Amino acid sequence: MDFRKRGRKAGQSLLRKLKRIAFHAGLNCGECKTVVTKGRYETKYKANVTCKDDPVCEDFYLHRFRKTCATRWHEAGIPMRNIQVWLAHKSLETTQIYLGLTDSSKLRGDIDRAFGD
């Protein structure tokens, strides 16, 4: 099996687990609607479901972990070029999109030092 296909299948499995954990923790929004396959073998069928009753909420996705990790690395002072390589981005602009804003209260000391206060 191709490495990329294996990675995709592993990612799909992790996503299903993440959505199940969020569902059991009561974190779903209750508004997402989708069609899923239910049943096994000959009894498979398509069903319309909502995230109120099934672990299918669109608010939870694995890419959020990449963004969080990149932001935390950046806040820890790791150079952006290193983060770019670790995330396997071709351009620095793509990496910059991943970096969230740091809470200004965390930056207060740096801001004050920059202005000599």
Instruction: Give the lowest-confidence range in 43-47, 65-69, 90-94, 98-102.
Output: 98-102
Q: Does residue 99 carry a pLDDT above 80? A: yes
Q: What is the pLDDT of residue 1?
A: 47
Q: What is the mean pLDDT of the chain?
A: 83
- Percentage of the chain with pLDDT > 90? 21
Q: What is the mean pLDDT of residues 59-68?
A: 84
Cβ atoms of residues 52 and 63 within 8 Å: no
Q: Does residue 82 carry a pLDDT above 90? A: yes
Q: Is this model's pTM higher than 0.85 or not?
A: no
- What would the pLDDT profile of 22-41 be if each residue is shown by its tens digit? 899 999 898 999 998 888 88
**Cα torsion angle, 8, 16, 90, 75, sign:** negative
**Residue for token pair 């319309």:** 48
Q: Does residue 112 carry a pLDDT above 70? A: yes
Closest CA to 74 of 92, 55, 90: 92
Cα 99 to its chain centre, rounded Å, is: 13
Q: What is the pLDDT of residue 85?
A: 92
